Structure 1
């Protein structure tokens, strides 16, 4: 095993080598193509820490983990050898469809701080960008143009519901009460574990009901749960006692337009709601909380004296933090081109 790695490494000395863990097989060739400036090795699960140490200790390399959940010995080894530990995740305009259905992402994030944007325990590269970047006037103008496109089109992260099939529940259309949209999440997701402040879907629904006892409450089930790829902790029968369920046929854009306020734990949909001009209550500590833009149930301290706006966060989170790609050619792209492809393609979809 060691000799196989070494032979290939020495033939690619002009590129930094990335030893990647927890990356699904179906993503690997794509990642190698879109990030071809690196020399990629995908570490098998059975490889021992001792063997990995022998491989990487004298090489210009980084260890990259998809998300979290790696053996703690990995981070300890990186500290010992002073090897960078990077993390990878999908970007905020992922493209069409779920990763669970093996749809290739049109945007990816490599966070070289070792902390991803959904981990509030320490500062990610996105946190640093938000707290230190002062966007130019031209960049803010471009950001506003992108937001206008998102508002008009309903482009979101996953873009799942074909426009020809979209429906709106009659209750959501006809209710004369205040309408509260509660964003469902996968309760064993890393963002809930790391930044959810102990909340689950049931607790969030109870919070919304307690805050607005006379309102109509609507619960948007997470697409991974609807697709049968993940499980929900809160029983659906308990959810139905408090809220009207919104199924996969309704776009988030429709929900934002018809609802008065949005509740979420850590979901990106909370920030998307801000982009659509809706007030947002967050129970957890997502990257966009703590700046005075959201009603924070569990406030977080942000280390900046700057007044941060929605435009500032959009510039950093959507334009500076992720990398964009054409999933067909595997060439680098931009947010503008990605939005255009999602808006003009005949099969364009809208996120659940």
Structure 2
């Protein structure tokens, strides 16, 4: 789309400022350094992480020699880098997208190819990839490559991975013919032309006269960003030719095909990974090695190799990978796992969802948790639409319920601290024991492998070692008194909390809980801990704290970190508080006076029966279901889905690093507390 006059002026201004900043940065750098012919490459954090340093910008105003000149492929910056390196007598490095590029086409790249000889898609000249393909691989490398091929298949990844799976009809047996956009450099650099596509289709039809042909158009065609080599209307005139006219993930099409025909598309390489016969009508990087059926003669530089050599070179040695969450280099396996997680999470919810009753603050952080679905906020819903609500709000129809996860944040939800974890329950909600929920189904039915149990155990140990809880507040200290009595911690809750209304049928007040615990343990030393929201002045407690003195020996009037308490108590009593779950992780005996999600599985002493919870769980089984399977975790900086292990790392960093951003959030929380306290005094 053409820019307006104002947009062009703004773009030129930004580029001018960028040029000035890069020139100032160049002053004082060593005379021989890596230089780039593109300003954007100089500013690219991913390039800096992959190369180990930021390249300086090349300018004719500074004539110092370069150690190496960096550009992008066969684009203008790449051609200039090669020419400049030749003039200066130094090396060059050309960058290109890797073969597992990203989630969406406009998302930051997960992989970048580095080539100091040429570019992989230019068959007319040598490339570093060609030399890597011909290199023999060791038994260890072969074993890794075999596992990588299986991982690629299991994860069902491709170059781009944001499109949905194709769900339309397909013939039982078919040949896949792959389109490409006009002007794709890999076509001309691969010795092909527009006529190659007509020849490809004709050859496929001639070789398989009794088999259906499926033509997959390129995704850019659907956005009008580029033109196809095929006319869909003309294709419809052929017998047994089907056109995929949607933007869809190509993996299912490859996996179901009897053979794949391509000119130079990367899908031919992916088809080799899937073990499919591949026919090429250009000379892409994966052709000419004896692995494909090629319409063109191969360059003299290429010789027969094994598929493992090709895959190892292309996915392991030629490409550098970048973890967008950890912000550092990573392995191919880690990059594939990242993409798999995004795709798995994006497929779990309906395609279209109407959000009902969410506050403006919640709307701001909700959308990343619903990635993969079109989430729209409204005040009403039509029959048949999928809806999302916060908590246990009564809404008829197909409703999913959203709540905070169990590893939430650094700071309270009532202080408007953005969560890193949410649960989206399509059956009920975890704190409502009056009806089924997804977590109850998960815990009742899951069968874990030894590897999954080991992962849950490791996660539990990470939580204990890092002293993590739901809110991770900066807190005071408490010391157990020097007494011989049994010390019992009684956990207070906000009495208006929905978990008490739907999960504690017998006792729903803190005073009632204390009276029962005192009656059960008349000689124990009972410590009462009010809810953090109450101590912060953000929620009403329900009763004056002074009324509890007759039923407990000590009330914690300042917030104390749960982990600091767990090591000093003998038991914990609760109605439905999450602290009971956190205590279980530390090996503390827990008595439940209600039915929280972790009760009824044989791990707690339960005073309320839960006949619908039939499974007997190990602690690690509870951890896997409640912390790995049930919640959704989102990295607050990137918006990507992450695993709970990464959230623990992020929370630990937030607790230890004192940044201006954290100072801002502390001040904001104090203002919110003051506002809540003033509002309470005004009642």
CA apart distance, 1:303 = 4.4
Give unpaired runs (5+ residues) of structure 2: 1-246, 249-349, 663-683
- Partners of 1:126 and 1:317 within 8 A in 2: yes
- The alignment partner of 2:366 has SS state of helix
Partner Cα separation in structure 2 for residue 21 and residue 297 of structure 1: 36
CA apart distance, 1:347 = 4.7
Partner Cα separation in structure 1 for residue 588 and residue 411 of structure 2: 25
Q: How does 1:208-227 map to 2 (within 5 A)?
A: 208-227=517-536
Q: What per-residue deviation string (whole Å, max 9, x for no partner) do you get for residues 203-260 of structure 1? A: 1111111111111110111011112221122331111222211234421111111110
Q: What per-residue deviation string (whole Å, max 9, x for no partner) do you get for residues 109-167 of structure 1? A: 11111x101001111000000000011111111111111112222201111125xxx32
Q: How does 1:108-257 map to 2 (within 5 A)?
A: 108-113=422-427, 115-161=428-474, 166-168=476-478, 170=479, 172-199=480-507, 200-243=509-552, 244-257=554-567
CA apart distance, 1:344 = 3.6
Q: 2:400 aligns with which of 83, 86, 91?
A: 86
Which of the two has higher C-alpha Rg?
A: 2
CA apart distance, 1:173 = 4.1
- Partners of 2:430 and 2:437 within 8 A in 1: yes
Task: Give the equivalent residue in structure 2 for 1:269.
Answer: 579
Of 123-132 and 336-345, deviating more is 336-345
- Partners of 1:16 and 1:39 within 8 A in 2: yes
1:308 aligns with 2:617: yes
Task: Give the equivalent residue in structure 1 for 2:352.
Answer: 17
Partner Cα separation in structure 2 for residue 20 and residue 197 of structure 1: 30
Partner Cα separation in structure 2 for residue 65 and residue 88 of structure 1: 6
Partner Cα separation in structure 2 for residue 213 and residue 232 of structure 1: 25
- Partners of 1:161 and 1:248 within 8 A in 2: no
- The alignment partner of 1:241 has SS state of coil
- Partners of 2:405 and 2:631 within 8 A in 1: yes
Partner Cα separation in structure 2 for residue 184 and residue 67 of structure 1: 20
Partner Cα separation in structure 2 for residue 151 and residue 40 of structure 1: 36
Partner Cα separation in structure 2 for residue 344 and residue 39 of structure 1: 32
Partner Cα separation in structure 2 for residue 34 and residue 125 of structure 1: 17
CA apart distance, 1:87 = 0.6
Task: Give the equivalent residue in structure 1 for 2:392.
Answer: 68
Q: What per-residue deviation string (whole Å, max 9, x for no partner) do you get for residues 309-330 of structure 1? A: 1111110000000011111221
Q: What per-residue deviation string (whole Å, max 9, x for no partner) do you get for residues 247-289 of structure 1? A: 3442111111111000000111111111111111111011111
- Partners of 2:407 and 2:471 within 8 A in 1: yes
Paired residues in the alignment total: 309
- Partners of 1:179 and 1:261 within 8 A in 2: yes
- Partners of 1:291 and 1:302 within 8 A in 2: no
Which structure is higher in RCO with an 8 Å CA cutoff and minimum separation 6?
Answer: 1
After superposition, the CA RMSD in angstroms is 2.1
Q: What per-residue deviation string (whole Å, max 9, x for no partner) do you get for residues 26-47 of structure 1? A: 1212212342311122223xx5
- The alignment partner of 2:488 has SS state of strand
- The alignment partner of 2:567 has SS state of helix
Partner Cα separation in structure 2 for residue 258 and residue 22 of structure 1: 42
Task: Give the equivalent residue in structure 2 for 1:322.
Answer: 631
Give unpaired runs (5+ residues) of structure 1: 1-12, 79-83
Partner Cα separation in structure 2 for residue 64 and residue 290 of structure 1: 28
Q: What per-residue deviation string (whole Å, max 9, x for no partner) do you get for residues 171-206 of structure 1? A: x24333210000111111110000111311111111
Partner Cα separation in structure 2 for residue 236 and residue 332 of structure 1: 41
- Partners of 1:173 and 1:258 within 8 A in 2: no
Partner Cα separation in structure 2 for residue 238 and residue 332 of structure 1: 46
